[in-house]
Amino acid sequence: MPAFTAIEDVPLVVRHARKFPAQVRQELGLPSGVKLAVLIHGGHKAELRVTEDFLPAGWVCVACNGGQPLCADAPLPANFRLAPAEVYTPDLVAACDCVIGKIGYGIVSEVLAHGRPLVFVRRDFFNEEPFLRKVLELHSGAVEMKRRDFLAGHWGPYLQRACSLTVRYNQPTNGAEVVAARLEQVARGDTATAPKANPMARLRDTVVFGYLMATSKHGRVDVPDWYVNGADPNRRLGSLKNLADVLASTPGFSLDPLLKDWRVVEGDSRQLPHMPDTLAFLQLLRQLDSPQAEDQQRGSSGGGDSGTAGCAAAADGSGDDG
């Protein structure tokens, strides 16, 4: 976000399981071979009335709802269990075959760290979801369940699909330790070990902040892999890494078609050819207005403006205004 002038990427900050999966399953009294689903239902205002046929044969579901019944006037069927309010969720996640719930940072980090798939129901007006969902997709960690199927109890096909996934998250999960060590460095005034500022960080996160504000109007737009991975995009773009050389050898090439809807208000616009990730993201953001442009074109009798809203971009470089 623009308010934060220094942004440092750290590994996943996540709670880890304290018990072995076999111990958790034994405490739940689950026989060998029974599949376990964990339902994270906290935060939902509506009650959920479940019946035994919500689950396929051979499945048991532990519901985490802050210790409160899923439905006040309906007891849980035999293949459902209610977790106590003080349950440590990562223990259940590590012991289960899949998790059912909404997308949020906490549960996404836990399923990735423990290698468990998530069956999720889409959340409306939740700006974090596109990014968290993209992380799950990159690591084969999620199956979307339609809301009507969730409420009607047609869980079987989604659970079976989730069990066929192999969650592949091989990144470090010691983000809490890294953050604690970094805070200690700051408290001691140790600037020698501080990471060098990334000149792209301010532009990147400012543009992403604008993306978040626009998604509620235009629906879902895919998030670039490089941003979700939290890496330097220039190291991941292959042949686009040398885009500046390609442009320099292309007679008559101009960035004007791409930048016609953008005004550089900070930095040197001449640096843009050296920022392939920024060019790709600007192109993506131009598409946010495409539904609006189509509506205006259909409603107009002649030519004219495409309807694309004026925007501003920043290019970190020499500091000259473009």
Separation of alpha carbons 29 and 27, rounded Å: 5
Cα 206-7-9 angle, rounded to 5 deg: 115
pLDDT tens digits for range 108-129: 999 999 999 999 998 877 878 8
Report pLDDT digits (tens) over 273-304: 677 667 767 766 766 666 554 454 445 444 44
**For residue 293, with 0-12 CB atoms within 10 Å meaning exposed, 13-18 middle and 19 or more buried, which class applies?**
middle
The residue that leads in pLDDT, 69 or 282, is 69
**Residue at 97: amino acid letter:** D
Q: Give the pLDDT confidence of 210-248 residue by residue, as tens digits.
A: 666 555 555 555 665 555 555 444 444 343 344 445 445
pTM score above 0.85: no
262, with CB counted inside 10 A (0-12, 13-18, 19+), is: buried
Indicate whether 309 pLDDT > 50. Answer: no
Can you state the percent helix, strand and coil of the chain, rounding each to 5? 40, 10, 45
State the amino acid at position 258 in one-letter form.
Answer: L
Q: How far apart are CA 245 and CA 34, in angstroms?
A: 59
Residue 162 has pLDDT above 60, yes or no: yes
Is residue 226 a contact partner of residue 236, using CB atoms and an 8 Å limit?
yes
